[in-house]
Amino acid sequence: MQPHPSFDLIRQLPIHSLGVEVFEYVHRQTGAQHIHLKADRDENVFLVAVRTMPQDSTGVAHILEHTALCGSERYPVRDPFFMMTRRSLNTFMNAFTSSDWTAYPFASQNSKDFYNLMDVYLDAVFFSRLDPLDFAQEGHRLEFAEAQNPDTELVFKGVVYNEMKGAMSSPTSTLWQTLTRYLFPETTYHHNSGGEPTCIPDLSYAQLCQFYKSHYHPSNAVFMTFGNLAVEDLQTRMHEQALSRFEASSMQLQVADEKRYFAPIRVEEAYALEQEDLSGKTHHVLGWLLSPSIDIHALMEAHFMSRVLLDNSSSPLRAALESCGLGSAPSPLCGLEDSNREMSFMCGIEGSEPDKAAEFEALVLATLTQVVEEGVDPRVLEAQLHQLELSQREITGDGYPFGLQLILSSLSAAIHRGDALAALNIDPVLEALGEKIKDPQFVPNWISQHLLNNPHRVRVTLRPDAQLGHLRDAAETKRLAQLKAQLSEAEKQAILEQTRALEERQLQVDDDSILPCVTLEDVPLDLHLPEAQTLPATDLNLTWYSAGTNGLNYQQIILDLPELSPEEQGLLPLYSYCLTELGCGERDYRTNQALQSELTGGLSAYTSIRGHLQSEQRVSGYLVLSAKALNRHQTAVAELMAETLMQARFDELPRIREIVAQQRSRREQSITGRGHSLAISAASAGFSPAARLAHETTGLAGILAIKALDKRLNEAAALQALGDSLAQLHGKIKNAPRRFLCVGEAEQQAGMVQTLEQIWKNLPVEPQSAPFHLPATRSPVRQLWLTSTQVNFCALAFPTVTAAHPDAAALTVLGDFLRNGYLHRAIREQGGAYGAGAGQDNGDAVFRFFSYRDPRLQATLDDFMRAKDWLLSQEHEGQKLQEAILGIISSIDKPGSPAGEAKQTYHASLSGRTPEERRRFRQRILSVTLADMQRVAETWLDPEKSSIAVVTHSKAASELGAEFERIEL
């Protein structure tokens, strides 16, 4: 591809397994690297990353990421990033701070929009204004508790400050930061790049500016792009908008080699947990520092060995961790960390006791020694090589855009000055690895060299401490009191003036016309949805979608759920998980999982329960058994799915006991990470049957239920009863009416149809005596869910309508309009929460407000209510409505993976959301007016019918009145 004259082409490489051709360029004037992935795809991706290597835990890189997006030279408005999120058709837009880099990525399917965003991002990164008030808002600041009353106590505020208070409320985050602090004694990874809440207030504005000056330079940057846009046009923009104004920097930032230990170290630290019973809450982790991650062969060998040891319950190290009895579950930190300059391998357990540390370490070392002595079955090695091949071939994109995932997979190599092209082109590496593993000594030698004989090993024990949170709060209170005692009158006045200035800045209305934008005229006329293929006559209820899946086949069996008792409904999540985690026929669960690994890229089951398009009170329920595989395995996988459904066994009681303990542990650990979604689920639970069941099984009530079940299973009779109940539930479901969904390449269709007919033609199907149903519900709640957290997660919900109702489109746009126009300013900027929003859920017929990592509670709930008053009492510009509509259309039109789009289209149709209905709804979105939004807000956002749920801690809960039900998690 012809580059811009300011760039030199270094090399190019086609990667057929990914459908891309990769080009590496260098900017002559600055030395900036540009890697372009040419692909025949409409979704184009841009990312610029700079190496950022903080030398403390003040969060300087993280706060700079936030502050850099708050106004720049060409776009001197207060909030260009969030303003552009609503002035574009982006399919992805964000910024990340990692341990040694900061990246600014976006994606769009519209070329005009893409270049608009590119202009804003280039200016934000290289010509940021770094206003001190933005530093105060996004990073940290001192204010008086009553903003203009200097007689009240001082408080710390700031978006990143509260974000990290929330992040570090998670035991897993604390465990990771503790491990890396000891695993990396000297380099940047020793520090918390996100910022420790106790250290963040130590960062000065001058230090932020100096860090920006030294790190945000093109010579320290990597540009990466993906898609079908001309590389010369991309580079013209980069050069003219940014790079032409810089000269090469003499400073080359790079992480040094870490100092190595000569003997393992062992440490014990504590984390805050405000519970009376602290038993079974300790974490133990072993971590090893390995070789540099830029060696692609060493990297793939480490990934391979991590999979061999830990992939599933048949893997030797995971099997030992799951069944050792020293803890309730393997640690979330099990596996390989490859994003740092030097890789690390770790394994651990949670749900343990402090005095089990030595026993845990001995178990791990004994297991590794046993693997060295006995070796690993060659079939297992081939299965894990197959897994790596499958992950390389799969075209993803249902979460992050596919192009962004490819970019991120090679970014670490580029940042660490390795070979980014080699990091993408792993087929030759896999081929070489396939030869290496034929040597019976490959696995023993790797384990001996990198683990058993590697003295750079750290054992971390993280135990709970019920007083730590109180001590931390007391220390902060004391620190603030000392700061206040030392304030002069002039310093008090400066705090008051900054508070006033920041409030004025947050309320100012900027001239957003200086920002580029797309309009409704740029919106595509139609919604692209995949179409099912017409099949020849068959006895199967089979739907086929042809898609470019790069040699993969996706299969699903969908069974109509029968009528179930409330007890059986409560077992559905556990049952669907156990279905593929237990044994099958003559195979025990470990043998079964080893077979799954040989044949599939994943075999899983889940239940789908949704309200109907016409009424949220009318639900449909399905069990979905889902698998993906390379085409050469599609017949074997279809047979395995049939065996799983017909011959699943629920007699492996010790394994069921392990699964329940693991699920309890995982779900308890997840509370602070997804507190806002759990609060939303609780607030919505009374307004639709599907929402209520979700809350009772997978929400906060479900966490209480799994904790109670885990406790009961200490009795053998209770465990036997659970196994019997799961078997009886399976007996009700396995022969239910079924249908099939397949997604694959067109030439695979005939063979797949024939395979399924042969497998299923003689297997029984029983007509349902009664279909699945749930009792109707439409009642509000007032709930406080209490847990160990330093921040709050608030949710307010109102009963509304489904997508079929004429008001649904206006309610949907209303969510974006309130977030953009009121909530972002009131709750994030002024209130200091990490985020807030609102939205209509057409499936459950609920309109929800929410905040996350929020220092406030009652004030945020008040702001939710005031949002409606703001809408009805203010005059609003038509441009703001257009921005809200663009945001909704962007989310509707957001592309997924080829298989993901087909599966979503199919399952939406099962509950009445056909392609035709979805297109009609999209057209209604484009027709929403300001009057429509005001009318539906007045109609449906009735405070008398509202429902509130908050995830908080006992101290903050005292803010709310006695009418709230308090529930201890």
pLDDT, one tens digit per residue, over 677-707 is 999 999 999 999 999 999 999 999 999 999 9
pLDDT above 80: residue 534: no
Better-predicted residue by pLDDT, 397 or 344 = 344
pLDDT attached to residue 540 = 87
Better-predicted residue by pLDDT, 956 or 122 = 122
Residue 533 binned pLDDT confidence (cut-offs 50, 70, 90): confident
pLDDT attached to residue 391 = 87
pLDDT attached to residue 153 = 95
- Residue 733: closest CA among 782, 785, 771: 771
Instruction: Provide the β-strand partners of residue 744.
Output: 546
Residue 112 binned pLDDT confidence (cut-offs 50, 70, 90): very high
pLDDT digits (tens, 9 = 90+) for 535-559: 877 788 999 999 999 899 999 999 9
pLDDT digits (tens, 9 = 90+) for 806-848: 999 999 999 999 999 999 999 999 999 999 999 999 999 999 9
Cβ atoms of 668 and 707 within 8 Å: the answer is yes
Expressed in angstroms, the distance from the first to the final Cα of the chain is 58
pLDDT attached to residue 827 = 97
pLDDT digits (tens, 9 = 90+) for 310-348: 999 999 999 999 999 999 999 999 999 999 999 999 999
pLDDT digits (tens, 9 = 90+) for 624-654: 999 999 999 999 999 999 999 999 999 999 9
- Residue 948: closest CA among 937, 938, 934, 959: 959
Instruction: Provide the β-strand partners of residue 102.
Output: 50, 97
Cα–Cα distance for residue pair 940/396, rounded to 1 Å: 38
Cα–Cα distance for residue pair 783/968, rounded to 1 Å: 11
Which helix (H) or strand (E) segment is 542 a member of? strand 542-546
Instruction: Provide the β-strand partners of residue 46.
Output: 106, 225
Which helix (H) or strand (E) segment is 13 a member of? strand 7-15
CA 243 remoteness from chain centre? 33
The count of other CB atoms within 10 Å of the CB of residue 545 is 23
Residue 154 binned pLDDT confidence (cut-offs 50, 70, 90): very high
The count of other CB atoms within 10 Å of the CB of residue 116 is 22
pLDDT attached to residue 2 = 87
Structure token pair of residue 22: 């990769």
Distances (CA, A) of 849 to 26, 91, 160, 714, 853: 47, 23, 21, 40, 14
pLDDT above 80: residue 793: yes
- Residue 2: closest CA among 20, 18, 25: 25
pLDDT attached to residue 567 = 97
DSSP string, 106-153: EEES-HHHHHHHHHHHHHHHHSB---HHHHHHHT-EEEESSTT-TTSP
Residue 136 binned pLDDT confidence (cut-offs 50, 70, 90): very high
Structure token pair of residue 807: 């008001």
pLDDT digits (tens, 9 = 90+) for 574-595: 999 999 999 999 999 999 999 9
Length of the chain (residues):
969
Q: Across the chain, how many H-helices and E-strands are there?
A: 34, 27
pLDDT attached to residue 304 = 97
pLDDT above 90: residue 276: no
Cβ atoms of 310 and 335 within 8 Å: the answer is yes
pTM over 0.75: yes
Residue 397 binned pLDDT confidence (cut-offs 50, 70, 90): confident
Structure token pair of residue 49: 């990353």
CA dihedral 869, 873, 879, 882 (to 10 degrees): 40
Q: What's the whole-number mean pLDDT along residues 35-39? A: 97
Cα–Cα distance for residue pair 138/935, rounded to 1 Å: 35
- Residue 307: closest CA among 370, 382, 360: 382
Cα–Cα distance for residue pair 524/43, rounded to 1 Å: 14
pLDDT attached to residue 147 = 84
Structure token pair of residue 863: 């702001």
pLDDT attached to residue 715 = 95
pLDDT above 80: residue 657: yes
pLDDT attached to residue 395 = 84
**Mean residue pLDDT across the chain:** 95
Long-range contacts of 603-606 (CB under 8 A, 24+ apart): 603/627, 603/637, 603/640, 603/641, 603/644, 604/580, 605/576, 605/577, 605/579, 605/580, 606/576
pLDDT digits (tens, 9 = 90+) for 182-241: 999 999 999 999 999 999 999 999 999 999 999 999 999 999 999 999 999 999 999 999
Residue 148 binned pLDDT confidence (cut-offs 50, 70, 90): confident
Cβ atoms of 868 and 796 within 8 Å: the answer is no
pLDDT attached to residue 503 = 93
CA dihedral 215, 216, 220, 223 (to 10 degrees): 150
pLDDT above 80: residue 1: no
DSSP 513: G
pLDDT above 80: residue 601: yes
pLDDT attached to residue 539 = 80
Q: What's the whole-number mean pLDDT along residues 349-372? A: 98
Cα–Cα distance for residue pair 21/291, rounded to 1 Å: 29
Domains of the chain are 7-251+490-514 (3.30.830.10), 265-465 (3.30.830.10), 782-968 (3.30.830.10)
pLDDT attached to residue 957 = 79
Residue 954 binned pLDDT confidence (cut-offs 50, 70, 90): confident
